[in-house]
Amino acid sequence: MNYLRLTMAFFWVGVISEVAYRINFFFQLFQSLISLGVAIAGISVIFSYTDSLGGWNAQEILALVGVYLLVGGIIGLIIRPGMEQFIASVRDGNLDFTLTKPEDAQLLVSIQRTNLWSLIDIALGMGVLITALVRLGEKVGAGQAGEFVLVLVAGGSIIYSFFLILATLSFWFVRIENILTVFQSLYEAGRWPVSLYPGWLRYGLTFVIPVAFATTVPAEALTGRLNWQTLVAASIVALVLLVVSRLFWRIGLRRYAGASA
Amino acid sequence: MIKDSGTAPTVDIKDLRKLYMVTQQESGAGAAVQSLIHRRKLIVPAVDGISFHLDPGEIVGFLGPNGAGKTTTLKMLSGLLHPTAGEVKVLDYIPWKREKAFLRQITLVMGQRNQLVWDIPALSSYELNRVIYHIPLDHYRRTLAELTDLLELGPLLHKPVRNLSLGERMKCELAAALLHQPQVVFLDEPTIGLDVTMQRRIRSFLTEYNQRFGATILLTSHYMADVQALCKRVVVIHHGKLLFDGELAKLVQKFSEYKTIIVQIGDCQNNMADYGEVVSCEDGRITLRVPKAQTARVTEQLLADLPVIDLLVEDPPIEEIIDRVFAQEKA
Amino acid sequence: MKALIELYIQQFKTTLAMMVAYRASLLIWMIGQVLEPLVYLIVWSIVSNNNGGSIGDYTTSQFAAYFILLMLVNQVTYTWVMYEFEYRIREGNFSFTLLRPVHPIHADIADNISSKLITTPSMIVVAVALGLVFHVSLAPQPWAIALFFPALFLAFAIRFFIEWTLAMLTFWTTRVGAANQTYFVLMLFLSGQFAPLALLPAPIQVLANILPFRWLISYPIDLLMGRLTFNQALIGLGVQAAWLIVSFILLRVVWRAGIKVYSAVGA
């Protein structure tokens, strides 16, 4: 309950600091529309030469793009900004202020910043997703929707843990702000079903950089491709990563307290 | 909230040590590549066995040259660093465990950093701290009103922090750090970079805060004026070791072997060097430095020999004494 | 001139030391540089195989060759000045740069070339490995190889001037994200990063011929893939030279105006 209150308080601060830059709403809208346009243009060029890509038709790929935008929006809204600020705060020493606060440091670090305008991506992603599903004529039952939400939450948790692990590395390597930027270009690979990729890359995008769980798996749930093994695997991976990232975070903190100046 | 207030010391450290492992990197491309393969490591003691304690409600100056270990000690006291050895207790808590109950009662202010969110008014950052510290709304309003009054924050609270001057920002920082009415306040160079007026205002605020809330304050500063105005007692460290712990006046007595005599006479005379070391001579106002033991004799002689208009015996400026303390240590 | 050479040498040493210090982030950055073309390579290979082994006059293995070469050309011509500039202005570091008695672009050029000298060898290794994995065969004409290097150099120079000019938008507004992204999208489709230009709709191909982007990426690739006649190749070099002049003039003009704005409000 208190966590929710804290999150809202931080979100509110984000709102206040961003309304000063209202113009950013239009910038972000513009950028989001552009990246949507790029995705659609790409799909239409590719599907002018083929009917299916790894067993997915154009509308199904569009649904995947919707999930891609949606999850990208979630990452941009709440996951990435906090981690970026955390990495910066290790470098400039402002983390000390966070650590002297009487609240769990991982929580504070995770929610300390939000990027309001990413809500646009989330809205756009949902719009694309719904459009694609309607055009597919797919009937999404309650069961399927439930599965979708479940794997989406699992995917979000996996990405969050992954970001946390990457960011925690900054306790050892001071300059790694790049690390998050690069995630973005790896995330691009999630615009396509991971089943397209050769084995080593598929495994890489599933288990090393868990893009597959964030995009392909939820899209599978909506297009009736999800089997129960994947569902269980996603849930287990999510739980394990949450625990592992938490442990790693604590090791990092211990190191920070032990060796930093 | 405080356990055994009045009897137990607020801050208690015994034989505190902190060692750092430092990797050495030399400049130049060749050395950079070489450091990939092999790095030289050094163990540097930042804090090398210091002990002292603070009683509730004390304001103590924590002095030492750059790199003496002040900030490291403050960080160990506020729970940011884990000591290598020794014992630290603050309000009977072990700081590095960073228990919430402990963190709610302390604060750390660093003059060279800021915790306020840059793009928004300070007031919004305060609201955030209210939630983080679970400050009840009426408490919060009252404390904020008091702090606003003491620091004259009224017109600043609604401006984005980035638009504030350095001094204004520091005032807002202080308020943010004190909203939860901490029992223990650690201040690391709170007046650094500020002009003299602003320094003075912050000093008087700290005195006021200390009296009103009975908080214990440990303060580092490069400005001796801060220390003289605020602290009866000082703790001096150098190279991680404790040099002095006691009243500021005693520090002067202990380390100052000289006194300064200022005499006002008609004009500068050539033979002044006979009386002591001439520091300056301007418009018949002569400043002499004289060994402490000879002060009385020299004063008498000056009065007997010269047409003295005015005569003043002073301790040398505290900066000079501190400088001498550290210089002696080095030798 | 001698001072400039010394500056470049000194910058090389600094860059080298920086890259060693930040080797972890360097490695991650390179993974990103490889992955993007690789994804397109894979997608197009699948489409090509679905289509019976080729699309237009690109066979599956030619797609592989195309995107691997793209990776290399992009590696050589890539710049990060647009991010760097925004950071500099925001942090107020740019004023220091202006105090130096040498135009700030030199430090950027030197830094860029230095880091490329260091990272390119490993990119070539990656490219060769990918070439083996995807069974790529290339047999360019000797003249094409001879022309490839000046073409690559010109591509780098034009891209550098264009992106440095765009980066200067920061003088006018600190919110340059939208402009940058528009540029990247144009780059993606019109330079041939998304697909060989010949596969895109005709209007886009026309646009690609008018705008500078294809001369930054697609043209050097086409040279090595033997898709240009000798005459076409020479014309291409001519067009590149023209764009070099245009972009250089643009850079100068924008710099003059920008520095005026910056010194009026920013510094």
Range B285-307 average pLDDT: 85
Structural domain count of chain A: 1
Q: Which tokens belong to B320?
A: 């000079």
Most confident of A48-52, B139-143, B220-224, B325-329: B139-143
On whether any CB of chain C is under 8 Å from the CB of A49, the answer is: yes
Instruction: Note the CATH number of domain B11-252.
Output: 3.40.50.300
Task: Test A46 with C43 for CB contact under 8 angstroms.
Answer: yes
Range C133-138 average pLDDT: 88
Task: Test A254 with B72 for CB contact under 8 angstroms.
Answer: no
Instruction: Note the CATH number of domain B257-314.
Output: 3.30.70.980
Task: Test B33 with C16 for CB contact under 8 angstroms.
Answer: yes
Identify which of A31, A169, A182 has the shortest CB distance to residue C178.
A31
Give residues with Cβ within 8 angstroms of C22, minimum separation 6: A173, A175, A176, A178
Question: C89 and C60 in contact (C-beta within 8 Å)?
Answer: no
Residues paired with B235 in a beta bridge? B62, B245
Identify which of B80, B82, B114 has the shortest CB distance to residue A100.
B80
Residue C266 pLDDT > 70, yes or no? no
Residue B269 pLDDT > 80, yes or no? no
Q: Kindly compute the dihedral angle of the four CA atoms of residues C194, C196, C201, C205, in this order, to the nearest 10 degrees.
A: 110
Nearest residue to A209 via CA among A159, A153, A151, A134: A159
Task: Test B81 with A96 for CB contact under 8 angstroms.
Answer: no
Average pLDDT along chain B: 85
Percent of chain B whose pLDDT exceeds 70 = 90
CB contacts of C25 in chain A (<8 Å) are: 173, 175-179
The model's pLDDT over C209-264, given as tens digits with 9 standing for 90+, comes to: 899 999 999 999 999 999 999 999 999 999 999 999 999 999 999 999 988 887 76
Task: Test A192 with C194 for CB contact under 8 angstroms.
Answer: no
Complex ipTM above 0.85? Answer: no
On whether any CB of chain B is under 8 Å from the CB of A88, the answer is: no
pTM of full prediction above 0.95: no
Q: Give the chain A residue nearest B23 (alpha carbons).
A: A259
On whether any CB of chain C is under 8 Å from the CB of B32, the answer is: yes
Which chains share 3+ C-beta pairs under 8 angstroms with C?
A, B
- The confidence score (pLDDT) of residue C97 equals 76
Smallest Cα distance from C250 to chain A, Å: 25
3-state DSSP call for residue B233?
Answer: strand
Task: Test A49 with C55 for CB contact under 8 angstroms.
Answer: yes
On whether any CB of chain B is under 8 Å from the CB of A15, the answer is: no
Q: In what order do the strands lie in the sheet with B11-24?
A: B40-54, B11-24, B85-90
Task: Test C13 with B33 for CB contact under 8 angstroms.
Answer: no
Greatest alpha-carbon pair distance for chain A in Å reads: 61
Task: Test A102 with B96 for CB contact under 8 angstroms.
Answer: no
Most confident of A116-130, B110-124, C17-31, C177-191: A116-130
Task: Test A257 with B96 for CB contact under 8 angstroms.
Answer: yes
On whether any CB of chain A is under 8 Å from the CB of C183, the answer is: no
CB contacts of C21 in chain B (<8 Å) are: 25, 32
Question: A114 and A41 in contact (C-beta within 8 Å)?
Answer: no
Instruction: Give me the residue label for tokens 């396509």.
Output: A192
Give CA–CA dist A125/C147, Å, rounded. Answer: 46
Q: Which of B66, B120, B187, B188 to mutate to test the interface with A (most CBs of A within 10 A)?
A: B120
Task: Test B127 with A257 for CB contact under 8 angstroms.
Answer: no
CB contacts of C84 in chain A (<8 Å) are: none
The model's pLDDT over A137-148, given as tens digits with 9 standing for 90+, comes to: 867 788 888 999
Smallest Cα distance from C245 to chain A, Å: 30
Task: Tell me the domain boundaries of chain C.
Answer: 2-266
Domain region containing A86? 2-259
Range B121-147 average pLDDT: 91
The model's pLDDT over C144-169, given as tens digits with 9 standing for 90+, comes to: 999 999 999 999 999 999 999 999 98
Task: Tell me the domain boundaries of chain B.
Answer: 11-252, 257-314
Q: Which of C18, C19, C23, C25 to mutate to test the interface with A (most CBs of A within 10 A)?
A: C25
On whether any CB of chain C is under 8 Å from the CB of A42, the answer is: yes
Give residues with Cβ within 8 angstroms of B148, minimum separation 6: B154, B157, B175
The model's pLDDT over B11-55, given as tens digits with 9 standing for 90+, comes to: 999 999 998 877 666 665 566 666 666 667 788 889 999 999 999
